[in-house]
Amino acid sequence: MSSLFNILPPDHDNFQFERKLHRRGYTCVAGTDEVGRGPLAGPVVAACVSLPPECDPSPFVDSKNTTHQQRLKLACLIHENGAAIGIGVVSHKRIDDINILQASLLAMKLAVYHHTATALRPDYLLVDGKFEVPLQIAQQAIIKGESYSGSIAAASIIAKLYRDALMNTLHQKYPRYGFCHNKGYATRFHRRAIAEHGPCPVHRLSFKGVREFVL
DSSP state string for 95-122? HHHH-HHHHHHHHHHHHHHHHHHHSPPP
Number of H helices, E strands in the chain: 7, 5
Max avg pLDDT among 44-58, 62-76, 179-193: 179-193
For 60-109, the pLDDT digits (tens) are 887 888 899 999 999 999 999 999 999 999 999 999 999 999 999 999 99
Of the two residues 24 and 8, the one the predictor is more confident about is 24
In this structure, of 37-46, 95-104, 143-152, 177-186, the range with the lowest mean pLDDT score is: 143-152
Stretch 42-53: mean pLDDT, rounded?
97
Report DSSP state, residue 65: G
Domain boundaries, given as residue ranges, for the chain: 16-165
- For residue 12, is pLDDT > 80? no
Percent above pLDDT 70 for the chain:
94
Q: Outline where 14-58 has alpha helix (H).
A: 16-23
Would you identify the CATH topology of the domain 16-165?
Nucleotidyltransferase; domain 5 (3.30.420)
Report the DSSP beta bridge partners of residue 126: 31, 140
pLDDT on residue 136: 95
pLDDT on residue 11: 54
35 — pLDDT class (breaks 50, 70, 90): very high
Amino acid at 158: I
> Using CA atoms, how far apart are residues 67 and 212, in angstroms rounded to an integer?
33
Choose among 14, 19, 44: nearest CA to 152. Answer: 14
Of the two residues 22 and 5, the one the predictor is more confident about is 22
Amino acid at 183: K
pLDDT on residue 122: 96
Choose among 109, 126, 123: nearest CA to 14. Answer: 126
- For residue 186, is pLDDT > 70? yes
Choose among 111, 84, 106, 109: nearest CA to 28. Answer: 84
Task: Tell me if 50 sits within 8 A of 83, measured CB to CB.
Answer: yes
Burial pattern 62-78, b for ≥16 Cβ within 10 A else e, equals bbeebeeeebeebbebb
The mean predicted confidence, pLDDT, of the chain is 93
Q: Which residues contact 208 (CB under 8 A, 6 or more apart)?
A: none
pLDDT on residue 37: 97
2 — pLDDT class (breaks 50, 70, 90): very low
- For residue 162, is pLDDT > 90? yes
> Using CA atoms, how far apart are residues 3 and 41, in angstroms rounded to an integer?
35
